[in-house]
A and B are shown apart, each in its own frame.
Chain A
Amino acid sequence: MGQHSHSRRPPHTPLTTMLEFRTAGFNPYNVKYSPFFDHRIAVGGGANFGLVGNGRLYVLNLTANGIACEKFFETQDCLFDIAWSEQHENQLLTAGGDGSIKLFDIGVGQFPVAGWQEHGREVFSVHWNLVNKSTFLSSSWDGTVKIWSPERKESITTLPIHSCVYSAQFSPHHPDIVTAVSRDSHLRVFDLRTKPSAQNHMTLAVPIHAPPKVRMPGMLNPNSGPTECLTHDWNKYRDSVIATAGVDTIIRTFDLRVPSGPVNLLAGHDYAVRRISWSPHLSDVLLSASYDMTCRVWTDGSNVDKGGNGAGMGAEMGRMDQHTEFAMGVDWCLFGAEGWCATCAWDERVLVWDVREFMRR
């Protein structure tokens, strides 16, 4: 591949190494690799773009002959997110449009093995605690994040946010740290060890649209007001670094040690960014999925691996533009070579591909 100009890049020729699965009749909202098996991925979505109608959870196997559907589960409403259990290799959680959270077991029939119904509106994210593995969380349009245990019928804690929470996560580095991003343009950090005082465990509320703390020549100046934040992800290596993204199309990185503004801004997507995911292999690399139908791979410029100080210029390293509708989900394969990922989009397709094939050389 030669040098591509930024504006007129020839479309990629289909790659023999790209695998595809069609979710006919269902528009996927997220895709997740199993933390236990390198050949297993799950996809959640709904009919009619998730506006009205049933939802479906797919369990897919990557085989020598492409992607095969191992099993699927039907639900009453769209599934806006999914999360694999960290405790049990056959179980996974779903975030339902009807406010429900369900736990499915691949080995058990057609119905969930457990369910929780407390949220008053659509559940937009579910996330399993990666450190203590005995709790999980959910976030909802009802403006709350709830912490759960699979053994308990009621939630353990409710964290009020008062704004539609598109995404919440446990820190991958600490079992009691929870983050949430919401429609009100804030990244909130909760420490469940603190007393449930008036702050409800909240230790930090960072305005996402704040100007960068340190400005560097050539750095983008978004000069923007509040923007809905749709997604965020904890860096897997640097334990104070989080990336956020949303409606204003810009991916921002934050360092919670200096939380007053973003460290870096990654601009390039033409429409809202729906999902981002840091690489499990490289500390400076992340992947994004956008309403502009592209999935892009970025470096935040930190170069920590190469001895950098964590604050270089970020840059887009490549893009995959084979999706033909809004790209909604991205996830990295935790195993093997460092570039494999899965993406899903409203074009009713799940694509499994190697990021390195799309990097600019």
Chain B
Amino acid sequence: MSSAQSRALEINSHLNPSGRAGLLEKRPDDIVVTAALRTAITRGRKGGFKDTAAADLLHGVFTHLIQRSGIDPSLVEDVSVGSVLAPGGGATEFRAAALAAGFPASTAVKSLNRQCSSGLQACVEIANAIKSGMIDIGIGAGVESMSQQYGPQAVTEFSDLLEDNASAAECKVPMGVLSEQMAKDKGVSRADQDRFAANSYQKALAAQKNGWFDEEIVPLTVKSEDPKTGKTTEITVSRDDGVREVTSESLSKIKPAFHKNGTIHAGNASQVSDGAAAVLLMKRSTAEQLGQKILGKFVAASVVGVPPLLMGIGPWKAIPEALKKAGISKDDVDIFEINEAFASQCLWCVNELGLPMEKVNPKGGAIAFGHPLGCTGSRQVSTLLYELKRTGKQIGVTSMCVGTGMGMAAVWVAE
């Protein structure tokens, strides 16, 4: 950029009360991402990872993260893994996966569960631990094998105390049922949901064809059993297998899943999937010292609560909070990665926030390629940063609604 151009932009930034210019500055204490990657996301019980344990998926992203970043594994002090369905949080097998991937005993590992935002929560906790000086280098990750761990056993029976408390009992209402009600109350029509969903599929398909997922996805070789022959073979999985040709016309033929007059169905809700993702975080000064290549930086995050029955509005409340913390407005954001739990809730949030549709999930979302619960939040980081980089843009937001009524959002900058 010429100095005349940069001076003109500077004056422009004075007239637009926004922290954008400050946000884009590079400071030594920035929390930067030096690697972000994920496995392919595959269909639950049918896809490429149906016979792969969550810990093995995690092992896969850990191995690739070490390889791609070239980081000395002994420098990584803590690994935080978001996961929703694993019994015991997955704490034991995730630690084991880290050891198997080449991290020494000195690298600590924990699992955490904030439902669908677990993967983001993991990244944010690592970023905060670095900021506070507790650690210097860490990994925020997320994983879910919905093939192996999705089911009624994932939620403990409610006690009488909880059952007898009206708002507590609301936490148990299934996502589909409450989203159906919310779509009805908020007036999100089936046609609009289907159009949004078809668009997600079409964007994902185009992105896949153009190779726009290639940088974020790492191939994993796993064992898989052919359901017909019962023969187990080794396969290499490197693409999201839920993505397919879909039109709003074809979606309009699917029967509603939760109510006979309902609007939500398998085609306009997120897919049940398997996958893992990981993000390597450290201070800019550390990255520069180690010669780590910087993909982008973490700026700020927010977590909010909303009524359990309106959990789908989480991003609508969380995104403005995160933007405020970052000192920018929604107009400063180039790309929003908002998890598509249901077309109805995602669409409602986008409209209510007044976001231009072309800025939302430009490579499609969970409707097209799936929502492996704990993985999604960390998956969005690589999806976002590589897309910002590819399109020469800079500021992005990741966000999702969270079961039982919460929302999270984070602001990222690609470099």
**Which A residues are closer than 8 A to B by beta carbons?**
49-52, 97, 122, 141, 143, 162-164, 183-185, 209, 223-228, 230, 246-249, 271-272, 274, 291
Contact = CB atoms under 8 A, between A and B. Distances in A.
Interface in B130-167: none
Nearest to B18: A247
B219 interface: no
Given A51-B8, A227-B327, A184 B27 contact: yes
Interface of B: 2-4, 7-8, 10-11, 13-19, 21-23, 25-28, 323-328
Contacts of B328: 225
A228 B21 CA distance: 8
B27 A163 contact: yes
B19 A271 contact: no
B7 A291 contact: no
Nearest to A246: B14
Contact of B27 (A49, A162, A271, A274): A162
Judged by DSSP, the binding face of B is: helix
A28 to B, nearest CB: 14
Nearest to B19: A226
B14 A162 contact: no
A272 B8 contact: no
Contacts of A272: 14-15, 17
A167 to B, nearest CB: 13
Contact of A228 (B19, B26, B324): B19
8 contacts: A52-B3, A162-B25, A162-B28, A225-B19, A228-B14, A230-B14, A247-B16, A247-B17
A183 B14 contact: no
Given A209-B327, A225-B327, A247-B14, A164 B19 contact: no
A248 B17 contact: yes
B21 A183 contact: yes
Contact of A249 (B8, B17, B324): B17
A224 B328 CA distance: 10
Contact of B17 (A51, A162, A164, A227): A227
B22 A184 contact: yes
Q: Which of B22, B26, B323 has the most CB of A within 10 A?
A: B22
A52 B4 contact: yes
A272 B14 CA distance: 6
A-B residue pairs, 10 tightest by C-beta: A225-B327, A226-B327, A52-B4, A272-B14, A162-B27, A226-B19, A51-B4, A183-B22, A51-B7, A184-B22
Nearest to B23: A226
Nearest to B2: A52
B249 to A, nearest CB: 44
Judged by DSSP, the binding face of A is: loop
Contacts of A51: 4, 7-8, 11
A90 to B, nearest CB: 31
B284 to A, nearest CB: 10
A245 to B, nearest CB: 11
Contacts of B2: 52
Contacts of B10: 141, 164
Given A163-B22, A185-B327, A228 B13 contact: yes
A47 to B, nearest CB: 11
B25 A164 contact: yes
B95 to A, nearest CB: 35
A227 B17 CA distance: 7
A271 B15 contact: yes
A10 to B, nearest CB: 27
Contacts of B28: 162
B327 A224 contact: yes
Contacts of A163: 22, 25, 27
Contacts of A226: 19, 22-23, 326-327
A226 B411 CA distance: 14
A285 B11 CA distance: 28
Q: Which of A141, A224, A247, A291 has the most CB of B within 10 A?
A: A247
A230 B21 CA distance: 13
Contacts of B15: 271-272, 291
A50 B7 contact: yes
Nearest to B324: A225
A185 B22 contact: yes
Contacts of B326: 225-226
A59 B238 CA distance: 70
Contacts of B324: 223-225
Contacts of B18: 247
A301 to B, nearest CB: 24
A274 B27 CA distance: 24
B19 A49 contact: no
Contact of A247 (B13, B26, B325): B13
Contact of B19 (A97, A143, A185, A230): A185
A228 B17 CA distance: 8
Nearest to B29: A162
A103 B8 CA distance: 27
Contacts of A49: 11
Nearest to A225: B327
Contacts of A225: 19, 323-328
A247 B327 CA distance: 12
A174 B14 CA distance: 31
A184 B4 contact: no
B17 A184 contact: no
A97 B17 CA distance: 24
Contacts of B26: 162
Nearest to A274: B14
A163 B25 CA distance: 7
Contacts of B16: 247
Q: Which of B15, B19, B326, B328 has the most CB of A within 10 A?
A: B19
Nearest to B16: A247
Contact of A122 (B7, B14, B327): B7
Contacts of A122: 3, 7
Contacts of B25: 143, 162-164, 183-184
Contacts of B8: 51
A162 B325 CA distance: 20
A291 B10 CA distance: 13
Given A141-B10, A291-B14, 5 more contacts: A50-B7, A224-B324, A225-B328, A226-B23, A228-B21
Nearest to A292: B15
Contacts of B21: 164, 183, 228
Contacts of A97: 3, 7
Contacts of A184: 22, 25, 27
